[in-house]
Structure 1
C-alpha cells in the first residue's frame, strides 16, 4: 500500500537542490539530449537552465511544491495574467548555454508559439529522483496543486516529454490539445496537454 508523501512549498533555500533534482530526473529525455548533445556537458548546462526557472517560480512567478524528503518537485508558473521570464533571461541563457544557445532559443520559440493563451497554471517541470520512480510521488505532487486549481476554477497546461508521461497525465485529467505535438526536432517531441477544471 502506497502512503501519500508529505509535501511542502519550496523556498529560496531549496533552489539549488530542486535544480539538481530536475537534472537527475531529466537526463534521459529526448528534448534534453537535443538541447545539449554532448553527454559530458549536458548536466551542467541544463542544470543551470533549470535553476533559472526554479528561482523564478519561487521568486513569485509561480510555486514549487516538493516532497518533504526532497525526492520530488513540481515547478508551476501562474499564467492567469500572461507570461513572465527570469530576470535578464536572454543574457543569462547565452552565458549558460554557450555554443548550444541556438538550440535553447529554438525550444523557447517552439514552446511559446504553441502555448495556450487562456488563463491557466503551467506545470513546466515535474521531477522525481530516478531511485523513487513508480512510487506515486509525481501523482501526489500534481494532486496537491490540482485540488487548489480546481477550487479556484483554474485550468492547467503542460508539455509531456514522452508517451509514457502522456498516459500518466491523462489519468490526472489532462487531454491532448490541437495540434497535439510540438516537433522540437526529428527525434524530440513534446505533447501539449490541457486540464480543464475538475468538479469532484
Structure 2
C-alpha cells in the first residue's frame, strides 16, 4: 500500500535523486544535457535548485512511500506567479556550466510561454521511481492535491513531458490548451504539452 504525505525538508536529497533518475531519459533532459555521462550530475544540481524552492516556497510538496517506507514518488506544486528560485539567473551557470546556460534559459522561456493568467497551482514535477511506474503512484499523488484544489475551486496547470504522462493527466481531468498554445517543440526534437484542469466543484470540501 502506498502512503502519501507532505515532504519533510530532510528528504530533499531523496526527492532530487528520484526526479533525476525518473527524468533521465526524457527528451527535455537529452536536449538540455546531450552528454549522457554528465547528465545525472548536471541535472541533479538543476533539479535540486527547484526542490529547495518547492520545500521553502512551493504550494505543496508531497511524497509517496511504499510499505517499506521507501520514497517512490514525489509531486512538487508551485503557486502561479511564483518568481522561482532566488538569484536564479546568476546561480544557473555555476550549476549547469557556462556552455549550457543559453540552452537552459531558452528552455525556461519555452516552458513558461502561454502559461494561463488565471490564478492556479502549477505542477512543476511529478516523478515516480522507474521500477514503480505504471503502478498508480502518480495518479495517487495527483488525486491527493486535486482534492484540495477542488475544495478551493482552484485550477491546475502543467506541461506534460511525454505522451505517456499526457495520457495520465487526461485521465485526471486535464485538457490541452488551445491550438497554437498547447505544444512545446524542443529544438533538438521531442515535444511537450501544456495542459489545464478545471476544478471539480462536486468534490466535498476537505475537513
How would you bin the TM-score normalised by the shorter chain?
Answer: over 0.9
Write out aligned runs for 1:1-200 (5 A).
3=1, 5-68=2-65, 69-79=70-80, 82-98=81-97, 99-178=99-178, 179-200=181-202
Q: Choose between structure 1 and 2: higher helix proportion.
A: 1
Unaligned runs of 5+ in 1: none
* 2:157–2:195 CA contact under 8 A, matched in 1: yes
Which stretch shifts more, 147-156 or 94-103? 94-103
Count of equivalent residues: 195
| 3-state secondary structure, aligned to 1:165 | helix
Superposition misfits of 4+ residues, deviation over 6 angstroms: none
Structure 2 unpaired stretches of 5+: 203-207
1: CA distance between counterparts of 2:57 and 2:19? 20
SS of residue matched to 1:71: strand
Give the alignment's TM-score, normalised by structure 1.
0.94
